[in-house]
Amino acid sequence: METMEMQPGSMLALFETDKEQRSSFVMQIIEDLQEGRRDPLNVHLQVKCMEETIKMLTDKRAYPTTAEPYGEMLLEAAQQQGKEFTHHNAKFSIKEVGTSYDFTNCNDEVYLNLAAQMDALKASIKERETFLKSIGVHGLDIITPDGEGVKIFAPAKKSTTSVAVSLK
C-alpha cells in the first residue's frame, strides 16, 4: 500500500462540502464503478476505513485517559461561538441530546410490577419465537387453549447477502 503524503488536516478539508457537492461526489463514485474505472473492493475498503476512522474520532471510549476527547474539545470550541452559529456551510447548535431516565430508584411498586411483567412477556415471546423457528416445512397441528385445531408454520426467513470486511 502506498504511503499518504497529505496531512490529516488537509485530508479532512476535502470534506468541507455542501449537500449538493457530497451528492455529486457519491454519484461520481457510482459512475466510476459502473464504468469500471474503480474497483468495488477498493472503494468498499476505503469506505470501511473512513467509517472506522470516524468512529475512533467520535467515540469517547477510544481515547487514553490522558487525552481530552474530541467531543469535549468540540463542545468547548462551539460554546465560544454561542448557542447557534454558522461555520462554513453548516449551522451549528448547542442543545441537550440523548436524555434518559433511570427508574430503578423510584421505589414505585406499580412501575416495578409492570417492568417485571414486561420482562416476563419478553422472555415468553423469545421462547415462543425459538419454538416457531423449529417447526418443519410442513407445519405443525396444534390445539389452541380454546380447543380449536389449527396448523401453525415456521416464520418466513429473510436474509440479505453482503460482503463483510475485517480491517487489520
- 41-98 pLDDT, tens digit each: 999 999 999 999 888 888 877 666 666 788 889 999 999 999 999 998 899 999 998 8
- Domain of residue 126 covers 109-152
Q: Is the pLDDT of residue 2 over 70?
A: no
76 shares its domain with 121: no
Q: How many Å apart are CA 46 and CA 49, to the nearest integer?
A: 5
Report yes or no on 54 lying in a domain.
yes
**3-class DSSP assignment, residue 93:** strand
Q: Find out whether 154 and 133 touch, Cβ atoms under 8 Å.
A: yes
- Mean pLDDT throughout 31-35? 97
Q: Which residues contact 95 (CB under 8 A, 6 or more apart)?
A: none
Report yes or no on 166 lying in a domain.
no
pTM over 0.85, yes/no: no
Q: End of a domain among 25, 58, 93?
A: 93
C-alpha distances in angstroms, 39 versus 1, 36, 44, 47?
A: 15, 7, 9, 12
114 shares its domain with 54: no
79 shares its domain with 113: no
Report yes or no on 164 lying in a domain.
no
86 shares its domain with 46: yes
Report yes or no on 13 lying in a domain.
yes
84 shares its domain with 42: yes
The pLDDT > 70 percentage for the chain reads 93
88 shares its domain with 21: yes
Structurally, the chain folds into a number of domains equal to 2
- State the amino acid at position 61 in one-letter form: R
pLDDT: is 108 or 8 the higher one? 108
Report yes or no on 3 lying in a domain.
no
Report yes or no on 98 lying in a domain.
no
The average confidence (pLDDT) of the chain is: 90
Confidence of residue 12 (pLDDT cuts 50, 70, 90): confident
78 shares its domain with 115: no
15 shares its domain with 87: yes
- What does the pLDDT look like over 125-134, one tens digit per residue? 999 999 999 9
Report yes or no on 26 lying in a domain.
yes
CA R_g for the chain: 26
Confidence of residue 164 (pLDDT cuts 50, 70, 90): confident
Least confident of 19-33, 54-68, 111-125, 146-160: 54-68
Report yes or no on 103 lying in a domain.
no
64 shares its domain with 36: yes
